[in-house]
Amino acid sequence: FALAVAASGSSFAAKPLVMGFSQVGAESEWRSANTASIKDAAKQAGITLKFADAQQKQENQVKAIRSFIAQRVDVIAFSPVVETGWETVLREAKAAKIPVILTDRAVNVADKSLYVTLIGSDFVEEGRRAGRWLADYAAKSNKPVLNVVELQGTVGSAPALDRKAGFEEAIKGNPKLKMLRTQTGEFTRAKGKEVMEAFLKAHGKDINVLYAHNDDMAIGAIQAIEEAGLKPGKDIIIVSIDGVKGAFQAMVAGKLNVSVECSPLLGPQLMKAAQDVVAGKPVPPRIVTEERVFPAEVAAKELPNRKY
Ligand code: GYE
């Protein structure tokens, strides 16, 4: 009898926490680093991770979340591909008493009790930082007006909506900056290149500036600019967001002018929040990542320190 008690007692104490995580996809360097951070941090924390890749489709995320509910995981975490359309599935998780943690991207729901916390960046601020850098650049330029084209991220996603809004806020009423064209490049290199080609076909040398919502689209666009016989970083000034290694390499090569940092290393904070929630400890409703701005002048010095 004593033995049986000891055995069940110890197996209870050792039962690892189980997390279901639904990832957006593998669309960018940022996303790959984010996935690696989450997998590593789960291992470090002794958390059993059930990982599902949604391939940029909301319906796949909804399916994954329903399957996590059916498996009765201890906690569900996900990075929502778009902001809207989450009420039903989040209510199902709440009814099953499974706490939900959002990472990276926000959802647009009226009932804030449908999730515990959102861990990630302030995308509006990132957009403002990009806009402020450009406003400073424009102030020093001897050209009277700079024509800007914009490559937006995934339509309806929090980072695309917020980075657009923050940028617009920072350049609003600036007589030296004129928005020529804006279109989605879906956060990928291939689409960034394709849309930049179309911009160049329509406006050619009239384009002075590219604002890309992420580095991957900027890197795709750099190729398009070079293929059009122009010099990226010189003929067309390029401002982007994320701060991935590829962006630092492009800056060192003189092809990208600035990258606003957005850290994908959210794994450790996510695991900590999950452990706290399951242990019944209070967790703040918003956990904001700390970030910087890297102009090309500091790229060579910073590149060796970059972790993603
Ligand atoms: O900037 C982009 C990725 O949601 C912050 O998604 C993330 C964005 C990131 O595809 O590269």
- Distance between CA atoms of 53 and 66, rounded to whole angstroms? 14
Which amino acid belongs to residue 205? K
What the block records as the tokens of 86 is: 């989450």
Residue nearest to atom 8 of ligand 1 (CA): 159
What is the distance between the alpha carbons of residues 40 and 62, in angstroms, rounded to a whole number?
24
State pTM to two decimals: 0.94
Question: b/e for 64-74, b at 16 or more Cβ within 10 A?
Answer: bbeebbeeebb
> How far apart, in whole angstroms, are the C-alpha atoms of residue 147 and residue 130?
15
DSSP three-state, residue 276: helix
Q: Which ranges of 204-303 does DSSP label H, i.e. alpha helix?
A: 215-227, 245-252, 267-278, 299-302
- What angle, rounded to 10 degrees, do the helices at 215-227 and 245-252 form? 40
- What ipTM, to 2 d.p.? 0.99
Q: What is the pLDDT of residues 180-239, one digit of tens each?
A: 999 999 999 999 999 999 999 999 999 999 999 999 999 999 999 999 999 999 999 999
* Model pLDDT, residue 290: 86
Task: Report which ligand 1 atom has the smallest distance to the Cα of 215.
Answer: 11
Q: What is the pLDDT of residue 57?
A: 97
Question: pLDDT by residue for the chain (308 residues), tens digit each?
Answer: 444 444 444 445 568 999 999 999 999 999 999 999 999 999 999 999 999 999 999 999 999 999 999 999 999 999 999 999 999 999 999 999 999 999 999 999 999 999 999 999 999 999 999 999 999 999 999 999 999 999 999 999 999 999 999 999 999 999 999 999 999 999 999 999 999 999 999 999 999 999 999 999 999 999 999 999 999 999 999 999 999 999 999 999 999 999 999 999 999 999 999 999 999 999 999 999 989 999 999 999 999 999 99
Q: Which of 140, 156, 157, 138 is closest to 148 using CA atoms? A: 138
pLDDT of residue 13: 55
User: Which of 103, 104, 118, 214 has most ligand 1 atoms within 8 Å of its beta carbon, as the pocket-test mutant?
Assistant: 214
Q: If you measure from the C-alpha of residue 51 to the centroid of ligand 1, how many angstroms do you get, rounded to a whole number?
A: 18
Q: What is the pLDDT of residue 64?
A: 98
Q: How far is the CA of 238 from the centre of ligand 1 (A)?
A: 18
Task: Determine the 3-state secondary structure of 148 from DSSP.
Answer: strand
Give the mutation target among 31, 121, 239 for probing the ligand 1 site: most ligand atoms within 8 A of CB: 31
Q: Which residues line ligand 1 (CB under 6 A)?
A: 27-28, 30-31, 104-105, 159, 187, 214, 216, 241-242, 262
Cα 201 to chain centroid distance, Å, stands at: 29
What residues have CB less than 8 Å from 264, skipping those under 6 apart?
A: 30, 31, 33, 34, 37, 104, 242, 308
Instruction: Ligand 1, residue 79: give the atom nearest the CA.
Output: 4
User: From the CA of 31, how far away is ligand 1's center (Å)?
Assistant: 6
